Structure 1
């Protein structure tokens, strides 16, 4: 449980040699890749420093509990929290695959910039966001245009 069967298959087919993490040479598992890997801990901690998202990074179970508590509802903050989590998971997975299949590597800063820009682009597509002080502050801090607010 928690193993990445994809990597097991790739090794079996001789596409890759080892089973270690592409970021830190640890033993790759879902828990390790997304929450315990030293590289990913830096990615998560920097991503969580964005406004209104900061908390101390911890284990997979604790992170999921934190997310469940903060991603509920229809508020802009909850939507951005969900989008951020999904985006970081996706970017980590894509970076892992690029390292395995294309031998391409992004720095942590490049990966974070990709995540932040992807989240911003996602928010641009949202319509009729309430023009409240909390939402306004959130937009300013994330560098989002105030034009995302509904008129009137």
Structure 2
């Protein structure tokens, strides 16, 4: 179970802090909100899904993890990209949250998506990928994965 020190969790621990999400300034910062329901994070994640030709609505953390466990099986390029993209997405969103809180710096949705794309492309650079496969070739082009 993930125990991130979200603002909601810190408030429950007795800290007297503002509980509003620093990414969207719209709702209380919880794990589900920060990674799935926040308008900023949701835009980034939907863009990631779009790069992979996937369209999904928002859901709870548990439903998302269940979907990922059921869907991201095997060793296909799509599965590999989805696993890398999700872990990178959660890192980038947490990093962005902390940059806004502690450094007063922020990036827009496009910059966050570019950071995810760059990270995934770097991790897959040089891997043997069957580019004769239409799906693989499309994914490589969408993600900027070089030979």
TM over 0.5: yes
Preserved CA contact (<8 Å) 2:19 2:29: yes
Partner of residue 56, structure 1: 56
TM-score computed with the length of structure 2 as normaliser: 0.81
Distance in 2 between the 1:142 and 1:130 partners?
Answer: 15
Partner of residue 150, structure 1: none
SS of 1:56's partner is coil
Partner of residue 66, structure 1: 67
The CA RMSD over aligned residues, in Å, is 2.6
Deviation at 1:6, TM superposition (A): 5.3
Distance in 2 between the 1:121 and 1:48 partners?
Answer: 19
Q: Which has the larger radius of gyration?
A: 1
TM-score computed with the length of structure 1 as normaliser: 0.78
Distance in 2 between the 1:2 and 1:123 partners?
Answer: 27
| Deviations 1:44-100 (CA, angstroms, capped at 9, x unpaired) | 112211034x12232123322321233111121111110011111110000000011
Partner of residue 145, structure 2: 144
Q: Which runs of 5+ in 2 are unaligned?
A: none
Structure 1 runs of 4+ aligned residues shifted over 6 Å read none
The count of residues paired between Structure 1 and Structure 2 equals: 141
Distance in 1 between the 2:91 and 2:131 partners?
Answer: 30
